[in-house]
Amino acid sequence: MMPKQATSSTVTPTTPFVRLYSYTRAHRRTLLGVLGLMALYNATVVVRPYLIKVAIDQDLLRPHPHLSDLIEIGAIYLGASIIGPLANFGQNWFLQSVGQTIVRRIRLDLFAHLLNLPMRFFDEHSTGRLITNVVNDTTRVSQFFTNFLLSVGRDGLTIVLVMGAMVVMDWRLALVSFAVVPVVLGVAVLFRGQLRRSYERTRSELSRLIGNVAENLSGMGVIQAFAQEPKQQAGFDSRNQAYLAANVIQFRWAVLFNRSFDLLGNLAVALMMWAGSGAVLDRTLPFGVLYAFITYIQQFFRPINTITQQWNTLQSALVSANRIGQILVTPSNMLEPAHPVEVSYDSKGHPISSGQVVLEHVGFGYDPDTKILRDVSMTIPAGAFVGVVGETGAGKSTLIGMIARFYDVTEGAVRIDGTDVRLYRQCDIHRIVTVVQQEVNLFTGTVADNIRLFRQDISWTQVKSAAQLAGAHGFIRRLPQGYRTRLSPHGSNLSLGQRQLLAFARAIVLEARVLILDEATANLDSETEQLVQASLAQISQGRTTIVIAHRLSTIRRADCIYVMAEGRVVESGSHDTLMARHGTYARLVQAHVGSHHGDFQHFPDWENHSGNPLKETPMPLSGHPHPWKTGGSA
């Protein structure tokens, strides 16, 4: 059976935008309501100058005015002043809440989708990029609602309603005042470009400055050891000056822009005065109308300015939406079989499986031309302890991916309990097979949560007994808050050996039937080494254990050792058998014992790691230029 080829370029029925548009559908009513509130709010904005106009023309300029009329107008004005802010509050609130609800949904869908994508996707996409998708791209999409829609809706309506009111009051003067709109728009667009460019320059100068400081702070030891402080200070000074210059230029543009708008506002008022005075003198235009026009014309400026700002918001939101959509349309369920086998679980929720693993002529390559695995066959009986050795690039890690089904074989088959792994549901196969990786991922949280991986169905007692079985209990108890000590992925609060033991505890608590262990390459201090070996002996009891071994001591007592080279199994058998054969295995063992002075227990340079037995295991403070960014050890 050939599984379907997994590529992200598969043609999909929905485009990214259609996929995202569907999120807004549920909120169409609310959005309509928001539009109504926007109109209401704008009506109160437009009506207020009109009320003053009425007051001036009908009360103040009349020979026999009535105070009661004035109070009436004042009361209407007050009403508008109450309704306006309320409507504004309402439209803001509802729009934001719709935006947040949609973005929440997008974030959850995106995250769940990402986690369900096949491993191959993560080989092709950098994690940093994906984090940007989850965090920044979704934020930009939310700005589409909170900034773009708000501005275009509210401010667009303001402009339209103000123009309408002007035309209704006096169409001739309205036409004159409309001349202001293109000018304001032109100035805004012109400055917007300059502002953006100068802002971007400032930002890039700033990031260069920060990079410079970060690097110098990390390398302060070297700077001081060679007394090069003046040289580095000079380097800093030139970056600092460059940033200052860019910053001042940016500020200059901002001042120029704001003051130009100020001036334009006053010129627009002067234009109204100049254009309207003749008509007022001729009695063809009531003075109140001129007053209203003077107020209205200033109301063009803010909305036009904010709308021009939104162009960038829209663009970046569209780009982000496209990126998110691209991920969402990548099929995630390619590895799910159409007719999965049913796996039964015992009363404790552990999968019932013997743990027998068989590889039948397995071949694999990321592309058809380069085969990483060729014709690999293994029969691993239930409960066996098996070692796999070989040089870097021999295909050991790929083998893990096949058995745990992170990838699909391109030839042959992997069977667990006699069933092809491709017929298991992903969630089932990973309950049966679990992998302890070389690098132990830690999560922000307590030690206990790191062991049970935040699962709520795993009790405190289970965590403790797993830790005890894994030999981790001792060091955990010595931590400041024991099992409640908080860990972080970047923190070096655990040594390599301790991390290893923690990972074993994880594997125990999960009760997998097949455990694949990618042994840590770096050296452990002797005490931890012994602990790890003892722990390994302990956890391999009663389950099938496959170890990608980097240490001789680990596999010496293995039931069977598979020696891999160039994607093939070249030898297999117990340690003694293989040594007696004087083949590849025997050569490997001899080579490492002979060449490295101190590194007895370690195979030679397989992973290009330096072996230094005297070095203590806790991660050294790395000399990385950007330590706040680094994930792993230096």
Partner 1 sequence: MSGANISGERSVGWVRSWSLVWQFARQHIGAYTFAGGVIASAEIFQVQIPQVIGEFTNALKRGDSVAMLSVDVFELVGFAMLYVGLFGFGQFFIGRLGRLFEADLRRQLYAHWQTLSPQFFQERSVGDLLSHAINDVPAVRESLSGTTIQVVQSVFLIAATLYMTLRHVSPRLTLVSLSPLLLIPVIVAVMSPLVRQRAQRVKESLSDMSAFAEESLGAVRLIKATANEPTMIRRFTQQVDVIVDRTMAAVQTNTLLQAILPFVSNISFVVALVYGGWLVITHVISLGAFVAFTLYLRLLVNPLTQLGQVTNTLQTASASLIRIQSLLDTQPTVKDAPDAVGRVEGHTISIRHLSFRYPDRKVNALTDVSIEIPTGYLVGLVGRTGAGKSTLLRLLIREFEPPRGKIWIGGHDVRQIALPTLRGELVSYISQSSFLFSTTMGQNIGFPLVDPNPRVVETAAKRAQLWDLAEQLPHHLDTVIGERGVLLSGGQRQRTALARALSQTRARILILDDAMSAVDTETESAIVAMLEELRGDRTILVASHRIAAVQTADLILVFDHGEIIEAGTHESLLHEQGFYARLAQIQSPCEEGLPL
Q: Which segments within 418-508 are labelled E, that is strand? A: 419-420, 433-436, 445-446, 486-487
Q: Which of 28, 197, 477, 626 binds partner 1 (CB under 8 A)?
A: 626
Q: Where are the alpha helices (DSSP H) in 511-631?
A: 526-539, 552-555, 575-581, 584-595
Give yes or no for residue 491 binding partner 1 (CB under 8 A).
no
Give yes or no for residue 302 binding partner 1 (CB under 8 A).
no
- Give the pairing of strands 560-565 and 568-573: antiparallel
- The tokens describing 5, both together, are 């080829």
- The tokens describing 82, both together, are 């109450």
Give yes or no for residue 130 binding partner 1 (CB under 8 A).
yes
> Sign of the CA dihedral 107, 113, 116, 117?
negative
> Sign of the CA dihedral 595, 598, 601, 602?
negative
Rounded-to-integer distance, Cα 523 and Cα 516, Å? 20
Give yes or no for residue 366 binding partner 1 (CB under 8 A).
no
Give yes or no for residue 210 binding partner 1 (CB under 8 A).
yes
Choices 176-184, 287-295, 307-315, 537-545 (CB under 8 A): range interacting with partner 1: 287-295
Q: State the binding string over 503-542 for partner 1 (x if CB under 8 A, else -).
A: ---x---x------------x-xx----------------
Choices 104-112, 355-363, 367-375, 408-416 (CB under 8 A): range interacting with partner 1: 104-112
CB of 116 to partner 1, least distance (A): 6
Our CB check for partner 1 shows the closer of 32 and 82 to be: 82
Rounded-to-integer distance, Cα 523 and Cα 607, Å? 12
- The tokens describing 96, both together, are 């934001």
Give yes or no for residue 287 binding partner 1 (CB under 8 A).
yes
Choices 22-30, 74-82, 475-483, 556-564 (CB under 8 A): range interacting with partner 1: 74-82
Ranges within 252-281 binding partner 1 (CB under 8 A): 252, 255-256, 258-260, 262-263, 266-267, 269-270, 273-274, 277-278, 280-281
Our CB check for partner 1 shows the closer of 126 and 541 to be: 126
How far are the Cα atoms of 160, 413, 425 from residue 420, in angstroms, in the given order?
Answer: 67, 6, 11
**One-letter amino acid identity for 623?**
G
Ranges within 403-462 binding partner 1 (CB under 8 A): 404, 406, 426-428, 430-431, 433-435, 437, 441, 443-444, 453-456
Neighbours of 147 (CB within 10 A): 20
Q: DSSP character for 135?
A: I
- Give the pairing of strands 486-487 and 445-446: antiparallel
| Of 516, 521, 582, residue with least CA distance to 547 | 516
Q: Which of 8, 24, 139, 465 binds partner 1 (CB under 8 A)?
A: 139
Residues contacting 371, CB < 8 A, separation 6+: 363, 364, 365, 567
CB of 427 to partner 1, least distance (A): 5
Choices 231-239, 356-364, 374-382, 470-478 (CB under 8 A): range interacting with partner 1: 231-239
CB of 375 to partner 1, least distance (A): 26
CB of 11 to partner 1, least distance (A): 26
Rounded-to-integer distance, Cα 245 and Cα 337, Å? 61
Choices 55-63, 302-310, 570-578, 580-588 (CB under 8 A): range interacting with partner 1: 55-63
Give the number of residues in contact with partner 1, rule: CB under 8 A.
148
Phi, psi of 372 (to 5 degrees): -95, -35
Choices 160-168, 323-331, 415-423, 612-620 (CB under 8 A): range interacting with partner 1: 612-620
